[in-house]
Structure formats: structure tokens, C-alpha cells
Structure 1
């Protein structure tokens, strides 16, 4: 069966340690545990979409190391189409170093590894995968030229194109916006893209409107416990977040993006897709780890909003 969601992006092995608090600059502290967990923004979003009821294909690069083997096996175990996952000979797979404190806040350092090897030719080689999709997702953990090509190709194919601009360190290339249907940043990413400091619903709307002025069709700013804000030229809608007890927020944003994409691919309208994605993201923060925290369809369908 052809995939209805295609994710072009990163795959990392996450090395996760838990601490009482995050270290200050120059400080050494003791960790309480260390876990090795499959992750990477692209892979997380692919797993989220796959667990939430749609066929998914992953396009990316892995190393020929043990982590690369484990990451591929993990994707296959989720029934994700991996034919467009290229193994780089003698390459070292991407790694993320994650510290999570007692309040479920985290810091992350990503070492790209073979994620930096994903080039536009890799996307071109599997163009039929994009052609069969309804939704195409990109992030910013692979080379910008590759992201730009994928966005343009998605628009040429008249697909629903989603960009999760993470990690973001500054404005996007101006020409990208015409190719994107939904830009989905969190607070800090919206700030980096727009230049508007986001610390409230009002400033989130200001940042989103700035992105629309730059050419974005629609913007969804994810605001953690404050919910999500959907902004388009026609309307602004705030979606309150479900109340849950947070344990680890590592993959919440990726779960939201994957779930939103899965819902759109399954035919939900955008408001219902946002609500569906919020429940999935809320459930993910109640569990530890990146991919292990991502819920399945029956979990989301069975969730009762308090």
C-alpha cells in the first residue's frame, strides 16, 4: 500500500539522562539514569503518524553503524516504508544528547551525523513516494537545500505540505513560504522566524501574523500547556490544551506534527486535526522517552478531555 504521509527528515539515536535540574554553564552534575532511545524529529513524526492510523514512508540517511541498524529496524517494526532510507557507507548515524530535569524540561544537543548526507538527489530518486502521498512533512535537521527542494516538489505535486521549522535559529528563506500549507513552530521557533518574542497568546498571534505577511498560508504555534494557536489570513483560533501530568516533554512537538498530519491524511478538517494532535501530544508528555512516549490510535480515541 502506498504511504499517505511522507516524512523527509532526520533519524537519531537519543542518549537520554535524567537529572534533578539542568546544569548551568560550566557546571558538572550527576545524572540519575541513561537510556538509549530511537529519535530524531523526522523519525519521531513518522512514528507518530504511523501509530495514529495512516501509512507512512520515511526518507532519510542512516549510518552503517549499530545505531543505523537499530534505527532502521525500529522504523520497520512500526510498518513504515523504509525503501527511501539510504545507508551511508562508513557513515555515523545522528545522535541527540538529551538532559531531562525533574520538572520535565529538557536541553538537547544534536550531532547530525549522516542526516547531513541527505541531498536533493535522494528525494528525486524516490519521487514516486512523494507522488503517492497526501501529506509531506519536513523539519530542519537535514540540509536546507534538501528541505527547500522537497517543499517545492510537494507544491508542484499539489500535496499538503507541512514544515516544522525545528530547530530554528533565524528567518526561513523567503521563497519557501509559497510552497508551505502549514508552518508549525513552537514559541521559540516562532520567535526565531518572526523576530517577535512569544510569551503570551497575543504575542504568539503577532508572530504568526508576521509569518503570514512573509507568505505563510497558515501557522499553528504550539504553546505547550497553553495549547495551540491556529492563524490564517481569515481567522484565529485558540485550542486549549488537555490537562495531564507531564513527565517528559521530549517528543511532544513531534507527536503533534505527526498526529496533525495523520489526521489530515485521514480526511479530518483542520480544527479536528488540531484537537486530535493536541490529545496525542498531551498523552506523549505523560511518558518518558521520544518514540516510546508516542501514543497509538486507540489511546487517542479513548482519551477523555478533563
Structure 2
């Protein structure tokens, strides 16, 4: 099995359940409150590790109570965490997640120590990149760090996965170095200027990204599944129909499972189909990391399909 290295964010999530989203200036009484370890990077690492992947992580935490909780969580998931660093100035990143009865969410993120991850930290841990096979990146850490990681991984001929979330300008000269570029419909729309209303719109956006140089583009479409596009192939993958409770980590579950499938050398169809099933499991539970599935959860998914 190939080794997976996730370089990215760790956040403490405060999750609020409410029957409806409050309007501007409105105070509304919620129904439930929980605190979980999260962050796109950590979620994707946990998603891959929980399926049985060999996973390590590079990131930065505040030297505080939340930071210590993250280390305990990584230990529990058997994720190599020696290169998850502590910052004495910034606090651990936090996210405020508000979820309504339909499973829709609104999220505010304060990155905190994630933005203190520096290029020197990557240079000091270059051996981890050299020793890994698959590198997974998101955009909740500084962009110069993301670009540096891509450059180093490319030089070592690693498989590079980039989840451009949260969406922001991305240096197109880097595109040719990225093996799998995986935005959702909102992110792909922002990156291409193409509004995504249907599968054909998604394909047109993916074609724009392929023209920019990305080798393989996967656009996740929430409850409508996903598409896979490269210069030679277009394929649509249908979704798994479930009753959503919390969609917060669905994309992270997809990407972590995709990385795991690549680490097992599965073909792209099996890999994406498994990632969609994992996302379907994830949205049926509250919280980001608590909702990430095991293989048993994925195998039992038929019990909750409509």
C-alpha cells in the first residue's frame, strides 16, 4: 500500500443545530451544541486512515487546549503526527458550523495557527514528502506553502491531489504539476467563471480546468454525484441517495477515500464510487470527524439508501 501525506489545516469545530438559520440581526434559540476536532486537512487524513490507509500529516496548531486535543485525536486514528507543529503565538484554528434541519450548513472559519505554517516548516520536513507516495493539499494554509509543497512533490514524482477549498486564485503555472484537482460545484464555478446548474455546466467547467493544465479534474456535485474529466475521458458518477443530517465533512470524506483508493491502486471508477459512498455515509451523522466512515459503515450503507 502506498503512503499518504496530508499537508493542511487542523480546526476545532463548534457545531450548532438549529431548526432554521437566523436572519441578520435575529437571535434564535438553537437545539444542540457540540465540539469536535476538524479542519479540512485533518478530516481528509482521518478519512483515509479510518479506512486503513498509512497516513502522516504536516500542519500547525496553537499551543493550547484545542491543540492538545488534536494530537490525541491523530494518535487515536494512528496518523503519524510528529510533523504537526505548535505555534506559541497563534491559537488553534476554529470553525463555527451552523446546521439546519435539512442538513444545510453555514461555516465561519478563523484559521489561527494554520496561517502560521511556513515554508521553512516544509523544508524541515521535506523527508516526509520524499518518503510519501500521495500528497494531499487544501487551501486553508498559506498559498506559498501550498505551492512549495506542490513543487517539492512534483520534483520527487509524487501523486499530487489538490482540493481548492476554500476557493481562491490559484497560480495556473502550477496546474500541470497537479494530478487530481478536486473542487466542488461552487469552487469550480468561482475558479472558472462558469455557473454550475447541471452536469453539462460541470463538464464545461472541468474542460476549462483541463485546458489550464490540470491532468485529472473531479468536480463533486453534492447530492448529484461527481464527474471525472481528463483529456481523453469524461464520466459521470451518480450519487447515493440518503437523508442528510450534516453535510459538513462530505467533501473531506470524498477526498480522503479517493486518496485511499489511489494508495490501493484501484482503478478510477472503483475509487470514485467508493468516495461517493463514503460521502453518503458522512452526511448521515453529526460532526466532521465523528461522521467519517469505516469500511463497515460503507458496506452497511444499503440500509439507509432511500
Q: So what's the TM-score if we normalise by structure 2? A: 0.96
Task: Give the SS at the match of 1:229.
Answer: strand
How do 1:14-29 residues align onto structure 2 when only pairs under 5 Å count?
14-29=13-28
Structure 2 match to 1:198: 196
TM-align CA RMSD: 1.4
CA distance in 2, matches of 1:172, 1:95: 24
- Contact 1:65 / 1:90 at 8 angstroms: preserved in 2? no
Q: C-alpha displacement at 1:302, in angstroms? A: 4.5
Task: Give the SS at the match of 2:81.
Answer: coil
Q: C-alpha displacement at 1:34, in angstroms? A: 1.2
- Contact 1:10 / 1:40 at 8 angstroms: preserved in 2? yes
CA distance in 2, matches of 1:117, 1:51: 28
In structure 2, relative to structure 1, the CA distance for the partners of 1:252 and 1:66 (3 Å cut) is same
Deviations 1:53-76 (A, max 9, x none): 111001000111100000111111
- Contact 2:2 / 2:134 at 8 angstroms: preserved in 1? no
Moved more, 118-127 or 51-60: 118-127
Task: Give the SS at the match of 2:22.
Answer: coil
Deviations 1:91-141 (A, max 9, x none): 300000110011000000000100001111111111121112121000000
Asked if 1:176 is matched to 2:150, the reply is no
CA distance in 2, matches of 1:165, 1:278: 18
Structure 1 match to 2:254: 256
Structure 2 match to 1:32: 31
CA distance in 1, matches of 2:92, 2:63: 7
How do 1:134-149 residues align onto structure 2 when only pairs under 5 Å count?
134-149=133-148
CA distance in 1, matches of 2:301, 2:18: 30
Unaligned runs of 5+ in 2: none
CA distance in 2, matches of 1:3, 1:132: 10
How do 1:190-229 residues align onto structure 2 when only pairs under 5 Å count?
190-229=188-227
Deviations 1:239-293 (A, max 9, x none): 0011211111010000000000011011111111101111111100111100000
CA distance in 1, matches of 2:245, 2:18: 13
Structure 2 match to 1:96: 95
Q: C-alpha displacement at 1:24, in angstroms? A: 2.5
Structure 2 match to 1:293: 291
How many residue pairs get aligned? The number is 304
Q: So what's the TM-score if we normalise by structure 1? A: 0.96
CA distance in 2, matches of 1:235, 1:23: 44
How do 1:39-78 residues align onto structure 2 when only pairs under 5 Å count?
39-78=38-77
